[in-house]
A and B are shown apart, each in its own frame.
Chain A
């Protein structure tokens, strides 16, 4: 096998509307090598691969700067079709297959083997007949190359997930010219034994001379099959090393380590935590939230603490608050102040003194079409019957618009919500100000226990700090116990008293915020 360079990416820069996501990334890949690409969510892995694959999303958002050289030729892919022609294949995280078609039909899609017939002479190429037998035979060959036991005539809709994954790979290698294969988290949906087969398939492809870029959150897999490894963090390439020269601990440190402020920054003005009083007791909680399943959650939250829940996206951390607040099907026992909480009933959770700031600001957190004052007052009005005037002995509960406006104005001043008035529609606010409205809505309920999910997602740096400060302040001043879920570990460490890490739908461990980064990394990556 010649040790020649197949792919060179030079000084890749990309921004989305001024938000820099990739800065000066250089990358090299030798023929027949497997390159592991690791990094936290939002580190820029997907963007980098989209650039390489010529995805239209890159072009629509203003293109990128830098140079890509494939097989010694400078390429500038206008679309995935160009990339495919040049020999780059990609297997996406989400399956791109037609469920009602056989494996063979999917593999040969748009490259069908055809033969001429009478109608072609009349109407043209589009009416050629398919040579189904040959297509099946050729697909079967591709599948056999992958090395799995799968009949090419099986319908995709009837396959287990692993086989769908293999069908996608078979499709990519069936293209005769495929030189480079991008695998975006191919093992994420597979069981352990399926993942093993998957890895051996990838190894075999590499031995056939196809280069592979392998994206995974599972460091063990990376260590097992990759020749080299590249770590991205905040859009920068922080490390490029041969896998042999490193270990998972080191990798996780590279991944999560920040250049600035690596220690917990927070200091409580007074110690509000009551070690002995358990506010919330969770036992055997399971939550069926799509994409964020969790099982066997046991937690004891102490009064007055800020409890962080971290972990990578899709691992299940968001399931915990959503389940306890009754928004997604859940089971197990949850006790607030020793009182059992009825699950799957948002009203009960709210009445018990809990409040929730959802991670999904636009879909769950806000009434976008309604003014700020409605947004802030609605929950407290509906659950606690405040801001209502009563007539006819309480038969008619009239909305007190004046009181609502006053309440909204209080929070607008307190949280510095930038708006024209309390009657401005929520959809007209910026992300940060929308988040403040969501917080105000939760504060207005005056909860004992506040769940905050991804409070800083999609808002700018200044607003981020203000949101975190506000949470800190409410915890400190009013003794509200806060459970905060975030994908940003740094943020959790800066604000929380304890941090739990959720990985693969389970709580992997609970650490003090002062614990070294690599311990957090290890829990996140189940290495």
Chain B
């Protein structure tokens, strides 16, 4: 029983990280169909933002700097996203292969930039004191860092869902996604909506970057560790679907946790891929399908 509870928590924790790194992509990839391979580097930018703030504030104020890092990373990564959108991506809308190659190149440039600025070695980011340790529930140790990530994800999801459903800007975003031409002739400035969407999507990658500093390395190439998983979540969930992404993240997290428990980490990785391939054969459109109101 312990084992099952243990692995349930591990699965939930993996799911929260998957969802965190994939949330941004549900905007840029899911809504705009932009394959942004530099998304991983925006995660890296978020992680380095945490490091920079922590260095600037010193070791005495780790909790404060960590708290500030969440909004700061959102802005830093979001701004990087805006710049990328303005300089490159807007010229490549509708050309997924070109976008893929160019953003991959941009990703490499950002990695090299980080290497030149911060050095090739990993840097150290300390978790705030209140996240050290964990709590024992029914014989399972729930670490505070992992619980914290779950809380961050829940908050972000609630905020995004509220924004999309309740605000005029969110409605415009959905309108453009569902039928760009109709939205355009109805007076929605689609270019501006594109920019906003890309800003939010990239910014969320930055927030993910702050989260992953609690569990993994902070170095120039950390984006590579997460980018594939992020795409998988969005694809399995169904493009542009927040609900789909949530379900997909939980499914993949649980599958990973339990397959790994029964076998090994390498087998689990391959096993999860296999499941995804099989699933997409059966349901190529993903878990949840967008209702489109157009002929396209």
Q: Do A and B come from one complex?
A: no
| Chain A residues engaging chain B, CB cutoff 8 angstroms | none
